[in-house]
Structure 1
Amino acid sequence: MDNTGVTFDQVLTLFVLVAVVAALIWDKMRSDVVALSGAAVLLIAGVVRPIDVQSAFASPAIIALASLFVIAYALELSGLLDRAIEAAVKMCKRLGSAGIWLMLGAIGVASCFLNSTPIVVLGAPVVRDVATALKLPPKRYLMPLSYITVLTGCCTLIGTSTNLLVDDMARNAGQPRFGIFEITPVGLPIALAGAIYLFLFSGKLMRGSIADDSPVPDRRDVDVPNAQVGDPTLFAEQRVFQPAKAAIAFAVFVGTVAVAAAGIAPIAASAFAGAVLLILLRVITADEAYGGLRPQILILIAGMVVIGLAMEQSGLAATATGALVGSMQEFGPLTALIVLYGVTMVLTELLSNATVAVLVTPIAVALAESLGVSPRPFLVAVMMAGSAAFATPFGYQTNVIVYQMGGYRYMDFVKVGLPLNLITFAVAIMAIPVFFPF
């Protein structure tokens, strides 16, 4: 690369990046197709090589996500999740409003280890129906359901695709991998602060909307963008409980997490082995496993990884860092961390979390290296801010689900979500330097 000026590869990568971002905001074309189109242009132009595209589709983040999707689908097919929901309904009928909040907490714990989208697709109709049966407004609980699953997803490496993707992109930039619970000391206080705020204030902030008796559609009327989520009907069907399969699926899931947490094998390896084991033990058939993969998300991520590699290899990430935050050197790493978190959070409201993770991670690494400090705190900031999409109903796929199911107004998300953004921002900036020193 020519260090004396801007290269053709940098100009083309920037053009493709702007075009992809514009197309994603325009939202008239499937986001996975947009990402693949950008990757194809970069491949044809020679900015990335075929082996780079191959590595993107075979990246550990893709393998881990695909395998975790299969394990989660096996748990669903066994009827275990439906049983858990039935138990939650009984508890709520006994305890009333407090029971619903306990159920939201339990769903949040599950979201630490399972993808939040199927959990919300499963749990939202239950929360709605239980609230209705108790003569409580469903709107009071559906938005907190989405927010809580996002917050708790930030507590572990496998809680959200954002964390896995940042870890993968950081590894490509020469950084060591994150442990499965390494980010928990930061994610947990953020989740607790967010949950307390939602419990105390979300009802007051939504008072006007709660008083409006808007019709609440049935779960099958929920229109979730296929490009981001996959087919929600996969997770909406009532399953017959099969104790043996449920026990095996749950044991494999716990074993997968334990092996990764103990450092015996990376999460990609343990999850892949767990998914294959479930097929070999006939807990889930190969065809069912393919059905639960949700390829739209995997292809979107792979396409964006290619664009992220182009940013790094062309030098665009380093150039952008110099142009955007060159002045940060006079203020020090803490100010740079605050700016990076803020920019990432704003971008996440406009784009998918996977897109933002891929675009910002190389910049975070280059920024830390330019300041002569550890990239670790900056990577954790991208993980947290990359999922902190609370102020619009379209920033995160679970928001879309409850937005339509609850009959919310757009401004409901602004009223409740914007303070939540600011609270999580403040807690993150206080916690990150403590547990991940510069």
Structure 2
Amino acid sequence: MNADQILTLVVLAAVVAALIWDKVRADVVALSGAAVLLMTGVVRPVEVQGAFASPAIIALASLFVIAYALELSGLLDRAIAAAVGMCKRLGAAGLWLLLGAIGLVSCFLNSTPIVVLGAPVVRDVATTLRLSPKRYLMPLSYITVLTGCCTLIGTSTNLLVDDMASNAGQPRFGMFEITPVGLPIALAGGLYLFLFSGRLMRRSLDEPDTAPDRATVPENIDTDDAQVGHAEYFAEPRPFQPAKAAIALAIFVGAIATAALGIAPIAASAFAGAVLLILLRVITADEAYGGLRPQILILIAGMVVIGIAMEESGLAATATGALVGSMQEFGPLTALIVLYGATMLLTELLSNATVAVLVTPVAVALAESLGVSPRPFIVAVMMAGSAAFATPFGYQTNVIVYQMGGYRYMDFVRVGLPLNLLTYAVAIIAITAFFPF
């Protein structure tokens, strides 16, 4: 190994250790690693600049602005109020319909703000109906993660994997190209949660409710690997503004449709939509900046810089060579199963951005070494990179409901580990069916 490879490996190990230690904000950790690599010359300033201007960053930032405009218009609050009325009429069945509706929205919007808005509503409605909020808050988190895997923009993990694969020379994914894989996973996972999650949590549900009330939720809750203060966590209801809500919704649908029809990439259509919202005065420039969630964007950009360093130094090629050598005697299906399992394990320990950066180049190189299409391997990384169900800290939305519902750590293991295994099996079947080697 040369000096650049050793330095990159040291920085990578330090970043991973700091993320596991979880005492320093993840975006600061990622930026620190990027700064060391930049100062030591492993990466050049132009490459760092490219990381911060990648299509994944532009698409996410623009979608955050559009989602914030929908929130400020009062449209989301209006929808939530309608859902509350439905739940009061239908009881527990209404709550499951509400979870399904929230999951449908999560196909197109980042799951974290969806859960931030929806979790207090689910908790309060369950309490009003004299049902345990624990029965529904954990499924809420899992459902938003599952449905987020159904489209390219449903989760930042998909966008980042697509970006890293493009850097490795692969064509970009279409908006709904992964839907044939994500949809069966979401349906199987949702059915499992409906039928079995209550039974698996029965011991916890029988215990006295230990969930903190709204006044005692911690000041800062770590979501999306960034600190989210309590004022945002329990946002005040917004007055409904029909004109602004209609424009914001039309622009959102237009941006999605433009990307889905292949007229323009999602980064371009979402960016144009965000700018149009400002020009039409649906949202002010200051409000747009307020909705950007810079901690999330900086975390992803910092991890992309580390990924570039792995490529430029040759560390990724060395690691891939070791993996490829061990997989040469096996067929592509075995390699796919091993890759999915390794990615799923890593994402329980590390941030989704970290896993996307680490595993995507390896997946592409592994497929090429086996002489098969990299497409199924890239899709496997997308799905497994979000499949963090077995711990409350594997995915950002799990942390939100963990705090709010007063769960025990083992509640997530009991419900989430079988969900991991179920989605693992469904994903492998769906990937091999729709993305042939």
> What is the distance in 1 between the residues matched to 2:116 and 2:214?
8
State whether residues 352 and 396 of structure 1, in contact with CA within 8 Å, keep that contact through their aligned partners in structure 2. yes
> What is the distance in 1 between the residues matched to 2:56 and 2:426?
27
What amino acid is the match of 1:60?
Answer: P
What amino acid is the match of 1:329?
Answer: Q
State whether residues 229 and 397 of structure 1, in contact with CA within 8 Å, keep that contact through their aligned partners in structure 2. no
> What is the distance in 2 between the residues matched to 1:219 and 1:61?
34
State whether residues 324 and 369 of structure 2, in contact with CA within 8 Å, keep that contact through their aligned partners in structure 1. no
- Which of 47, 54, 61 aligns to 2:56? It is 61
What amino acid is the match of 2:390?
Answer: A
TM-score of the aligned structures, taking structure 1 as reference length: 0.97
TM-score of the aligned structures, taking structure 2 as reference length: 0.97
Q: CA deviation at 1:227?
A: 6.8
- Which of 93, 103, 111 aligns to 1:98? It is 93
State whether residues 20 and 38 of structure 1, in contact with CA within 8 Å, keep that contact through their aligned partners in structure 2. yes
What amino acid is the match of 1:281?
Answer: L
- Superposed counterparts of 1:264-303, under 5 Å: 264-303=263-302
What amino acid is the match of 1:160?
Answer: T
What amino acid is the match of 1:382?
Answer: V
Q: CA deviation at 1:135?
A: 1.0
| Map of 2:228 onto structure 1 | 231
Which consecutive residues of structure 1, in runs of 5 or more, have no partner in the other structure? 1-5
Q: CA deviation at 1:308?
A: 0.5
Q: CA deviation at 1:203?
A: 0.1
Moved more, 230-239 or 287-296: 230-239
Which consecutive residues of structure 2, in runs of 5 or more, have no partner in the other structure? none
| Map of 2:134 onto structure 1 | 139
Q: CA deviation at 1:302?
A: 0.3
State whether residues 175 and 260 of structure 2, in contact with CA within 8 Å, keep that contact through their aligned partners in structure 1. yes
- 2:68 matches 1:73: yes
Q: Summarize deviations over 1:175-220 as a string: whole Å, max 9, x none.
A: 1000000000000000000000000000000000011122322346
Change (3 A) 1:219 1:265: farther
> What is the distance in 2 between the residues matched to 1:136 and 1:371?
53
Moved more, 415-424 or 230-239: 230-239
Q: Summarize deviations over 1:93-135 as a string: whole Å, max 9, x none.
A: 1111110000000000000000111110111111111111111
Q: Summarize deviations over 1:345-392 as a string: whole Å, max 9, x none.
A: 011001111111111111111111111111111100000000000000
> What is the distance in 2 between the residues matched to 1:316 and 1:107?
41
> What is the distance in 2 between the residues matched to 1:36 and 1:61?
17
> What is the distance in 1 between the residues matched to 2:293 and 2:276?
20
Q: CA RMSD in A?
A: 1.1
- 2:65 matches 1:87: no
| Map of 1:124 onto structure 2 | 119
> What is the distance in 2 between the residues matched to 1:369 and 1:426?
24
| Map of 2:347 onto structure 1 | 348
| Map of 1:318 onto structure 2 | 317
> What is the distance in 1 between the residues matched to 2:53 and 2:299?
13
Q: CA deviation at 1:230?
A: 4.8
State whether residues 32 and 227 of structure 1, in contact with CA within 8 Å, keep that contact through their aligned partners in structure 2. no
Change (3 A) 1:142 1:32: same
What amino acid is the match of 1:118?
Answer: P
Change (3 A) 1:339 1:437: same
- 2:193 matches 1:193: no
What amino acid is the match of 1:302?
Answer: A
State whether residues 123 and 137 of structure 2, in contact with CA within 8 Å, keep that contact through their aligned partners in structure 1. yes
- 2:209 matches 1:209: no
> What is the distance in 2 between the residues matched to 1:185 and 1:219?
39
What amino acid is the match of 2:188?
Answer: A
Change (3 A) 1:70 1:56: same
What amino acid is the match of 2:198?
Answer: G
> What is the distance in 1 between the residues matched to 2:150 and 2:29?
30
1:386 aligned counterpart, secondary structure: helix
Q: Summarize deviations over 1:218-247 as a string: whole Å, max 9, x none.
A: 346254116724535336221000000000
Q: CA deviation at 1:256?
A: 0.4
What amino acid is the match of 1:31?
Answer: A
What amino acid is the match of 2:225?
Answer: Q
Q: CA deviation at 1:43?
A: 1.1
| Map of 2:258 onto structure 1 | 259
2:328 aligned counterpart, secondary structure: helix
State whether residues 102 and 144 of structure 2, in contact with CA within 8 Å, keep that contact through their aligned partners in structure 1. yes
State whether residues 391 and 412 of structure 2, in contact with CA within 8 Å, keep that contact through their aligned partners in structure 1. yes
| Map of 2:177 onto structure 1 | 182
- Which of 77, 90, 105 aligns to 1:110? It is 105
